Structure 1
């Protein structure tokens, strides 16, 4: 199957082409604004399916709406008809097609042209009125406010919010791709003759700004956003895609002394925290127990001995651990425990605890093993 993608270098087009390749489609005909119309005519002869994504949404003057959205659509359809090619078409329209503004009118005109093509050529056409989209490879100050907020906040540039209570309806680009691939297979999601993206999120402009700002702060307070919230998870991925290329890394606090170091890697309110513990040869750390707090130790380098003793018992339990064979050791409540570096090199241990440390309620009590 040869698949024509117009607007192949744009936000959705670039993502779609990449995913089509991921899915094993090899004959992808990519057309973008920089290509000559003769290229489009050649593709119109060959293609078996069309994703018509090309269009304009922020032109310098309103006349370009009709030319870029309706005019180019007419050109594409005329070339398909000229070559007697009844390729099915996915047409990316907009929820703005429901409004009487220049952009909405140009999209509505494009929809009507595609519908007439489908009737004339007796082929399937899938018109998607897309909400505001967000995701990687989007452009700030062009595609979506999400892109603008992510770009600016990652660079300490002020953002403008005229109405924080304004409600946005958002779809994530990967959800759009899934639905487009269903249309390619002939299984689109349709409601009242218009195709739709099944997953749409609602959020106010103020909430969006607060959420994206929290992603920036998470690099300072080492908190991981709530990934059980699908919108937050997708917004966080989008934010990371906008990090400046010289700002992928960031510092975290290392607590260092003559015994080694202890560094908190990240915290989550729901899943506790993860830390990296480094012990010098011969050093013992721990010798404490917990009522409820529990931990998991994973030695990734060096040789260690984890020792346990139940609070009211004299019996000592020992586990030998090594970076040569990764094993997780659970640290149950009610057992005092320690970890000793018995090797010649640093002992590096990844430590997970089920709750973030609270100095007012540490649930940690000194007791030698």
Structure 2
């Protein structure tokens, strides 16, 4: 399916683009803020697409800025739809459960839905009311309280809960799947399963994750919500908190290194050998927690956030064992940069399922080395 997207640079927009990459669908057509100022430009971008996801909007600002921003974005898209000779079959609007709640944000989201419904361009409006979204690389003090708590904990602080109430949390990948009408998998669920949790309980769970992970240990990951919340927290640590030093214990017999210490949940550990100059990896995960520990030899781990250009490099070696846990939605690989065989320990939070591998091919950076 050929998809067009407004608001592609935002939190939800980035996750939509990552999921499209994982699904193997064509690269989306991006309708920029500048395009929205020109109905002819919007019409040109819409030509040949089957679905347009309207994600652009304003979450924060003065009441007037929020109200005007959400109405204006919908009005601009509607004008482009009317100019398009063959408009997309469906317009999917990322609305909010707060729509029509009497606030500038909620009322303007409801008004935006009405504007799109009345566009009269022949496209079917799919009005999706999204709850509180959380996930990797959300902006603190903007996208969600989850991102705010994660950022505070990553900086060594303590989240402050001013008002405790129940939240209905949906991971942003599940929301993206719902907007795309993508079939569910073991990683995402188009039905948008929600975690119902109080603000205080959320702060306490994330703080518990942080306290355990500071020791390079894996906290209890007992269900998909634990994994998704832990991955969200880890995204606020990367890259500045890595590599993480591992505890080492020495006596006359030799040394012991605590490579993986888990506090509950499934897991799988395996080792590999890699010949000089060979690269392993070149993929990304949507949910899997994956740990690399070089036990013997020297190597370079490289990572690149999906959809971004910057490549990060971590030199690692068995002489000083360290942890680099792969962040979700970052392409990654490991290359033997030494003259001898490389021995690496890998750990993942779940037993490998070939039917649902949660592994998507993606090159990190061009190399002259062979890849496997």
- The TM-score with structure 2 as length reference comes to 0.65
What CA distance in whole angstroms lies between the structure 2 residues aligned with 1:243 and 1:349? 23
Q: Alignment partner for residue 237 of structure 2, among 238, 243, 246? A: 243
Offset at residue 123 of structure 1 (A): 3.2
What CA distance in whole angstroms lies between the structure 2 residues aligned with 1:55 and 1:36? 12
Q: Alignment partner for residue 102 of structure 2, among 100, 103, 114? A: 100
Report 1 or 2 for greater relative contact order, CA contacts < 8 Å, sequence distance ≥ 6: 2
Which consecutive residues of structure 1, in runs of 5 or more, have no partner in the other structure?
188-195, 277-299, 302-347, 353-369
Structure with larger Rg: 1
Deviations 1:131-153 (A, max 9, x none): 11111131111111111111121
Moved more, 131-140 or 37-46: 37-46
Offset at residue 241 of structure 1 (A): 0.9
Aligned to 2:142: 142
Aligned to 1:23: 23
Correspondence 1:182-197 to 2 at 5 A: 182=181, 197=191
What CA distance in whole angstroms lies between the structure 1 residues aligned with 2:30 and 2:344? 49
What CA distance in whole angstroms lies between the structure 1 residues aligned with 2:7 and 2:265? 42
CA contact (8 A) 1:155 1:244 kept: no
Q: Alignment partner for residue 267 of structure 1, among 243, 261, 267? A: 261
Change (3 A) 1:36 1:222: closer
Q: SS where residue 28 of structure 2 aligns? A: strand
What CA distance in whole angstroms lies between the structure 1 residues aligned with 2:36 and 2:84? 18
Q: Alignment partner for residue 207 of structure 2, among 185, 210, 213? A: 213
Correspondence 1:74-113 to 2 at 5 A: 74-87=75-88, 88-113=90-115
What CA distance in whole angstroms lies between the structure 2 residues aligned with 1:15 and 1:131? 16
Question: 2:179 matched to 1:180?
Answer: yes
Change (3 A) 1:159 1:52: same
What CA distance in whole angstroms lies between the structure 1 residues aligned with 2:246 and 2:198? 32
What CA distance in whole angstroms lies between the structure 1 residues aligned with 2:238 and 2:227? 20
What CA distance in whole angstroms lies between the structure 2 residues aligned with 1:49 and 1:220? 44
Aligned to 2:53: 51
Q: CA RMSD in A?
A: 3.1
Offset at residue 270 of structure 1 (A): 4.0
Offset at residue 274 of structure 1 (A): 10
Offset at residue 36 of structure 1 (A): 6.3
Q: SS where residue 255 of structure 1 aligns? A: strand
Moved more, 38-47 or 204-213: 38-47
Aligned to 1:258: 252
CA contact (8 A) 2:42 2:81 kept: no
Which consecutive residues of structure 2, in runs of 5 or more, have no partner in the other structure?
185-189, 271-294, 297-342, 348-372
Change (3 A) 1:208 1:271: closer
What CA distance in whole angstroms lies between the structure 1 residues aligned with 2:254 and 2:207? 34
Aligned to 1:162: 162
- The TM-score with structure 1 as length reference comes to 0.65
CA contact (8 A) 1:266 1:274 kept: no
Q: Alignment partner for residue 234 of structure 1, among 228, 233, 242? A: 228
Offset at residue 67 of structure 1 (A): 1.9
What CA distance in whole angstroms lies between the structure 1 residues aligned with 2:83 and 2:238? 47
What CA distance in whole angstroms lies between the structure 2 residues aligned with 1:211 and 1:98? 32
Offset at residue 275 of structure 1 (A): 11
What CA distance in whole angstroms lies between the structure 2 residues aligned with 1:133 and 1:264? 35
Deviations 1:323-348 (A, max 9, x none): xxxxxxxxxxxxxxxxxxxxxxxxx9
Change (3 A) 1:34 1:228: farther
